[in-house]
Amino acid sequence: MDPFEEIYRRYGDSVFRFTTRLVGQRAVAEEITADVFLTLYERIDEIDVTQLPGWLFTVARHRAMDYWRRAAVERRYLSALVVPESQPSPDATSADLFELRALKPVHRLCLRLRYDYGMTVLEVAGATGLTQTQVKGYLQYARQLLRTQITQEEQ
């Protein structure tokens, strides 16, 4: 049996349970566990096998801390996002359209600010902390996905 396979069989469940306790979400724990073992696979020749359980749990803990840091940044960002009062409120039609599963949250955000609230690309960039080029790219990609979805529904 391959050394990596043996290590995965021996510690995979333990790392997953540990990660699940750290993040509290099964899907996120699965991703982190996969990332831990991918890192192990890439560096298996460099790692001292005698320190493996500790190494695996340390990497898992660091990945979980990274997850919580990103989540905190997202929460801070969303709470700081203030939509100008002078903008019109969104209508139900566009709200339904922007809930397409293929759209990532950043695409939905850019679409909503641009079309529901009538903000310019410059205003969207200022409100989100993205560059104007990034906003334009996200909008272009999102519009293409929406266009594809609408044409498929019409057929």
For residue 25, the enclosing domain spans 3-80
Residues 109 and 45 in one domain: no
Residues 106 and 126 in one domain: yes
Domains in the chain, number: 2
The CATH number for 35's domain is: 1.10.1740.10
Residues 75 and 25 in one domain: yes
Separation of first and last alpha carbons in the chain: 52
Q: Answer with the one of 60, 80, 100 that is the final residue of a domain.
A: 80
Q: Answer with the one of 19, 47, 80 that is the final residue of a domain.
A: 80
The CATH number for 130's domain is: 1.10.10.10
pLDDT in tens, the chain (155 residues): 788 899 999 999 999 999 999 998 899 999 999 999 999 999 888 888 888 889 999 999 999 999 998 888 888 777 776 555 555 555 544 545 666 667 788 888 888 888 888 888 888 888 888 889 999 998 898 888 888 877 777 66
Are 93 and 112 spatial neighbours (Cβ–Cβ below 8 Å)?
A: no
Q: Answer with the one of 80, 107, 140 that is the final residue of a domain.
A: 80
Task: Give this prediction's pTM.
Answer: 0.51
> Could you tell me if residue 87 is inside a domain?
no
Q: Helices marked H in 81-131 — which ranges? A: 92-97, 105-111, 121-128
Give the pair of three-digit tokens for residue 55. Answer: 């190494």
